[in-house]
Amino acid sequence: MSGPATTPAAAAAALPPGATLGVMGGGQLGRMFVHAAQSLGYATAVLDADPASPAGLVAHRHVASAYLDEAGLAALAEASAAITTEFENVPAQALERLAARRPVAPAAAAVRVCQDRAAEKAHFRQAGVPCAPHALIASAEQLDAVPAGLLPGILKTAQLGYDGKGQVRVGDRAALAAAWDQLGRRPCVLEQRLALRAEISVVVARGADGAMVELPVQQNLHRDGILAVTQVPPPDVAPALQAEAVRSARALAGSLGYVGVLCVEFFVVDDGSADGALVANEMAPRPHNSGHHSLDACDVSQFELQVRTLAGLPLAAPRLHSPAVMLNLLGDLWFRGGDDAAVEPPWPAVLALPGVHLHLYGKAEARPGRKMGHLTVTAADAGTACAVAREAAARLGLPPF
């Protein structure tokens, strides 16, 4: 269900087209935000140290600067009427500095919670949202005190982990100790390994007035910790669990006082019941890879929602007009023949299929594991979308799903 409409007072304060919207980070999420902002008539400014960043190349202005560079932050604030972020690891203190001069959404306090797994888990509990059994490990004493019931588990760095980075599967105490050494004895969270039936995500948008809308629930398949396939509607998740996931995502956004687009990832775990049980995995304070299908399958994309929350525009509830399957395209595709030199994938063979939408991110160099683009397949029904997506995956040499 969608939230209440934006009030007239809030709408009157909306930034008009022609204003400049700033974004911290120049990756593909920033690029798609810039495109959405420009389609609504806004100018854009991007701060990123890479002179060839995907978002910087298409923005009206590119501030080539590190995230904490004072001159760069001042330049972005001077150019922008309001500022957002496209990368979860942008330093929260940079957002705090910007907020002293311009509206920033999401706020640094909310981003800081999402940047620390221990704080995130604590917030799940405070909001009444179940999460996996876990323990914080920041000292040798805490390592020794880990309950036996948490093993086997997954040891994750408390900060700066994404796309499977900073994570090690452990089966016993000896492996746990070795993994903590491997991760540099940094503060970590050990999560009990659960029997999973499915992984899903909810992308929710919340305005400054508290209005909330969300994309349809998405079912996700990960390989090596990186999202590989998203299916919408989710084929293997009961409607009651989907509704629970939406309620939980809304509760988390509300309890954070969040303004912007927030993705909450959930596990559907096998608890012996017919539908399984839902536990929260993690939050991303930005649009999410699993929401990319909304560019082609919904009448309002996650990136337009990000623009609307930042500019104070009304939030229209997105409608899924076409079932969809999204395939993540990593740099490995360019090296599928085993050669050292990159070879362009066979795009014509894929684009010959009906309902295929190719999005490449403008990155100059393909590297294994690097997100280079995505492919969305839309169709009149979910079965057809899945069949075409499987054929597209086969033509590209991607693993079957």
222 appears as a binding residue in the annotation:
yes
Task: State both tokens at 71.
Answer: 């001159």
Which residue shows structure tokens 């910007």? 98
Rounded to 10 degrees, the C-alpha dihedral 31/32/33/35 comes to 90
Question: How crowded is residue 215: how many other Cβ atoms within 10 Å of its Cβ?
Answer: 30
C-beta of residue 157 within 8 angstroms of C-beta of residue 166: yes
C-beta of residue 19 within 8 angstroms of C-beta of residue 44: no
271 appears as a binding residue in the annotation:
no
CA distance 41 to 105: 19
- Cα four-point dihedral sign 10, 13, 19, 22: negative
328 appears as a binding residue in the annotation:
no
160 appears as a binding residue in the annotation:
no
Rounded to 10 degrees, the C-alpha dihedral 221/222/227/232 comes to 10
276 appears as a binding residue in the annotation:
no
302 appears as a binding residue in the annotation:
no
C-beta of residue 283 within 8 angstroms of C-beta of residue 295: no
164 appears as a binding residue in the annotation:
yes
192 appears as a binding residue in the annotation:
yes
Total residues belonging to the chain: 401
Show the beta-strand stretches assigned E in 160-195: 167-170, 188-192
CA distance 321 to 180: 47
Beta strand 153-157 pairing with 167-170: antiparallel
> Would you give the DSSP letter of residue 19?
B
Single-letter amino acid code for the residue at 8: P
CA distance 232 to 252: 22
281 appears as a binding residue in the annotation:
yes
User: Angle CA(113)–CA(117)–CA(119) in degrees, nearest 5?
Assistant: 45
Q: How far is CA 178 from CA 41, 106, 143, 174, 386, in A?
A: 53, 37, 11, 6, 41
42 appears as a binding residue in the annotation:
no
Q: What are phi and psi of 198, to 5 degrees?
A: -165, 165
Beta strand 324-330 pairing with 371-378: antiparallel
193 appears as a binding residue in the annotation:
yes
CA distance 76 to 57: 16
265 appears as a binding residue in the annotation:
no
161 appears as a binding residue in the annotation:
yes
In sequence order, which residues have a C-beta less than 8 Å from that of residue 274 and are 6 or more positions away? Answer: 238
Report the binding-site residues.
117, 156, 161-167, 191-194, 199, 222, 281-282
Report the binding-site residues for ATP.
117, 156, 161-167, 191-194, 199, 222, 281-282
